[in-house]
Chains A and B, each alone.
Chain A
Amino acid sequence: MITFDGVRKVFPDGTVAVDNLDLELPTGKITVFVGPSGCGKTTSLRMINRMIEPTSGRILIDGDDVTSQDDALLRRRIGYVIQHAGLFPHRTIAENIATVPHLNGVNKKKARAVALELMDRVGLDESMADRYPVQLSGGQQQRVGVARALAADPPVMLMDEPFSAVDPIVREVLQAEFLRIQGELGKTIALVTHDIDEAIKIGDMVAVFRQGGHLAQFATPQELLERPANDFVADFVGRDRGFRSLSFDTAAALEVDDLFSVATGGEVLVLDGAGHPHGWTGPGLGSTSNPTPLGGTFVTGDSLRLVTDLAISSPVGIAVRVDETGRADGVLRHDSLVRQLNARRRRRAEAESTS
């Protein structure tokens, strides 16, 4: 657990970067620091490994004050990943990853073995071990950056905008892999981003900062979207937060209609012999042999957000549910979906007011 205890940072020019921050980052979880630029999120992160010293207050890792330890030794026990990876251009990939073991006096052969194992873990081919950073793509460099931070098997990792410098498609892949690796390793992670979507996607807990170094809200992503503490947070998480909060519930509770109820609207779901849905036919739609595509199907484990998206984007306003074998087992009209979502919201509001 990382504890901020009344931490304040005033820079020499008088700027208050962090103001009286109290925060507890749970062990084994990802805590995301998010906020607009100049809100003190990066300063807060960098105070954990003493790249910046607090003006007052204490920062504790598992109860030990970070200032009670030698700064270089402290940092070797804390993994650090930054935006452009910050790889050493004059060292090979394997040498880059082995940096901290090397600093700790681990012999070359062993350090290299660690490096190769980590390359595998972050999804880099072993053949890249002896290349230099310039020979890698941005996404690959970022993987090396993560591997390098993991090399000494630190219990704590600090990540400063680790996915911001790559394009959106690579970012999604890196985020997904990062979550997979974290699932295996369970590090205590503090991650800074300016991207609220990223914060909600990968954070177990999210700390929203506002200008002047104030903590605006510290909560789970779902709570943040559904119950923003104030106008600043509501504004920061964005206008479509209602839609995005649907990500946190599955379609399991949704009531679907019988397949044959559809015919009343004139459109017909085309199934193949095995019962797999193929598309729509009917007035203004494709023929039975060449039906209009569905645009996708959902299973009970999918999120409400996906189901809503399917219903809205479907050519006939109907989302199709399938079972594990891919056979169609129900349909959901968009008006029925809206009714059910409204009912869900009412139930929640009631539950909250009575508790």
Chain B
Amino acid sequence: MDYIANNVDLILAALGQHVVLAIVPVILGVIIALPLGYLAVRYRWLYHPLINVSGLLYAIPSLALFVVLPGIIGTRILSPINIIAALTIYTVALMVRVVANGLNSVDPTITQAASAMGYRRVRRLFGVELPIALPVILAGLRVAAVSNVSLVSVGALIGVGGLGALFTRGLQLGYIDPIIVGIVLSVLLAVLCDVIIVLVQRQLTPWSRIGGRS
């Protein structure tokens, strides 16, 4: 397509922004969700409040969150921080539940066996519970990463949306090519993120693929 050849710089810039806007929230979100998820399991009274608030945050449409954040955190409406903050909120909302469920899914007889053999709490968390919860956590991470990649483009409606800029441009020009390029690149990026996480999972959890368990 001529469109690609004539707009390489523009497409690459949009792609670059898209990657940053999608990936940074995933990393921030996981860093925040891990301790929150652990707390939800450790202190049972925290579980329902945390999970319910997460569920409500996750229900908020992305465009609504994008546009109200500047008023709440005091950023400019065109700041990329709005998108990053909003997507971080979604990632946390999803991953708190995932981390909590992952840790809850660890058979209590196994954690008790660990304690009975002389594991202390912190070492048990990192040596036994988190590794066993990892397949569940990484499965959730795949969902979060793929969702983030596709959500970024909505940000184009407030001026910062990575590949979303190609969609608004195509609409304004009544021209289908940039839209197709944007969709294809966005989907490819989502698939790439998914594949990377799957490969990481295979490396980290060889035991989960054996014996027909997932």
Contact = CB atoms under 8 A, between A and B. Distances in A.
B205 A72 contact: no
B118 interface: yes
Given A86-B110, A100-B117, A103-B123, 15 more contacts: A49-B116, A51-B116, A75-B118, A83-B109, A87-B110, A88-B132, A89-B132, A89-B208, A90-B132, A90-B134, A132-B207, A132-B211, A134-B207, A135-B210, A148-B117
A92 B134 CA distance: 16
Contacts of A90: 128, 131-132, 134, 205, 207-208
- Interface size bucket, A side? 20 to 34
Given A90-B205, A134-B207, A134-B210, A76 B109 contact: no
7 contacts: A49-B116, A51-B112, A78-B116, A82-B109, A86-B109, A103-B123, A135-B210
Contacts of A148: 117
Contacts of B110: 86-89
Contacts of A80: 113, 116-117
Give the 7 A-B CB pairs with smallest separation, nearest first. Answer: A86-B113, A134-B211, A76-B118, A80-B116, A75-B118, A132-B207, A86-B109
A229 interface: no
Contact of A103 (B107, B109, B118, B134): B118
Interface string B108-148: 01101111111110010000100110100000000000000
Contacts of B113: 80, 82, 86-88
Nearest to B207: A132
A73 interface: yes
A76 B109 CA distance: 17
Interface of B is mostly: helix
A99 B114 CA distance: 9
Contacts of B117: 75-76, 80, 99-100, 103, 148
B44 interface: no
Interface string A27-58: 00000000000000000000001010000000
Interface residues of B, number: 24
A72 B122 CA distance: 12
Interface centre among B113, B119, B128 (most CB of A within 10 A): B113
A171 interface: no
Contacts of A305: none
Contacts of A78: 116
B209 to A, nearest CB: 10
A148 B114 CA distance: 11
Nearest to B109: A86
Interface string B90-113: 000000000000000001011011
A209 B116 CA distance: 23
B207 A82 contact: no
A37 B196 CA distance: 50
A100 B118 contact: yes
A134 B205 contact: no
Nearest to A79: B117
A135 B119 CA distance: 25
A80 B114 CA distance: 10
A103 B119 contact: yes
A78 B117 CA distance: 8
Interface string B166-209: 00000000000000000000000000000000000000011110
A158 B112 CA distance: 13
A89 B207 contact: yes
B207 to A, nearest CB: 4
Contacts of A135: 210-211
A241 interface: no
A72 B116 contact: no
A135 B128 CA distance: 19
Interface string A84-102: 1011111110000001100
Contacts of A82: 109, 112-113, 116
A88 B110 CA distance: 7
Interface in A129-166: 131-132, 134-135, 148, 158
Contacts of A100: 117-118
A352 to B, nearest CB: 43
A132 B132 CA distance: 13
Nearest to B132: A90
